[in-house]
Amino acid sequence: MGREYKNIVILISGSGSNMAALARAAEREDWAGTVGARIAAVISNRADSTGLALARELGLPTALVPHKDYDSREAFDAALMAAIDAHSPALVVLAGFMRILTPGFVAHYAGRLVNIHPSLLPAFTGLNTHQRAIDAGCKVAGATVHHVTADLDHGPILAQAVVPVLPGDTADTLAARVLSQEHRIYPQAVRELLDTL
């Protein structure tokens, strides 16, 4: 019999830079050997997400579940759950996955579903976090890795990184500064969590 791994399934919608950071950390730090975990699949809801091509380049199995093919959120989530559960995941990692998930989906993965959000939660849940932080006059911004619960962007916090908001920052310059920290804390938090599973 082959070895049983803790399977990680990563969900993306866009450029997939956090997914790539996770994949590179898993490789570099030998997650298979050290925490018995591997990335089993990268799943996107968008055919045009450049992250899907990047995942293929990184040698990861990919799947596409286009939300537009489904009439309702419930039908989409059911198809997504089937695609995820085909890999018997120990952990489902949202990495720029831009769909609101149904309570049934969140309950199904309770305790094994995490997300990264580009703000210092509980401040600035939702979208346009960087512009909102600039408009509010924040002196610091950052990112948060958290467990996903039914309450959007409100689950228990696993890790945070803080960056300065600099004079003249635009949403884009601030986003880039935050993103580079996301690439550091997300793999670290996921690895620590895998160790406890």
Q: Which is nearer to ligand GRF, 133 or 179 (CB)?
A: 179
Say whether residue 142 binds ligand GRF (CB under 6 A). no
Sole binder of ligand GRF in the list 10, 14, 90, 92 (CB under 6 A) = 14
Q: Are 158 and 182 in contact (CB under 8 A)?
A: no
* Calpha distance 61→56 (Å, rounded): 7
Q: Are 186 and 91 in contact (CB under 8 A)?
A: no
Sole binder of ligand GRF in the list 55, 95, 106, 113 (CB under 6 A) = 95
Sole binder of ligand GRF in the list 89, 96, 142, 187 (CB under 6 A) = 96
Say whether residue 118 binds ligand GRF (CB under 6 A). yes
Say whether residue 187 binds ligand GRF (CB under 6 A). no
Torsional class of 43: left (φ above 0), alpha (ψ -120 to 50), beta (otherwise): beta
Q: Is 183 in the active site?
A: no
Q: How many residues bind ligand GRF (CB under 6 A)?
A: 15
Assign 3-state DSSP to the chain and report helix, strand, coil percentages, each to 5: 40, 25, 35
Please give the structure tokens belonging to residue 20.
């790539």
Piece of the chain touching ligand GRF by CB under 6 A; list 14-22, 39-47, 54-62, 164-172:
14-22
Q: Tell me the catalytic residues.
A: 117
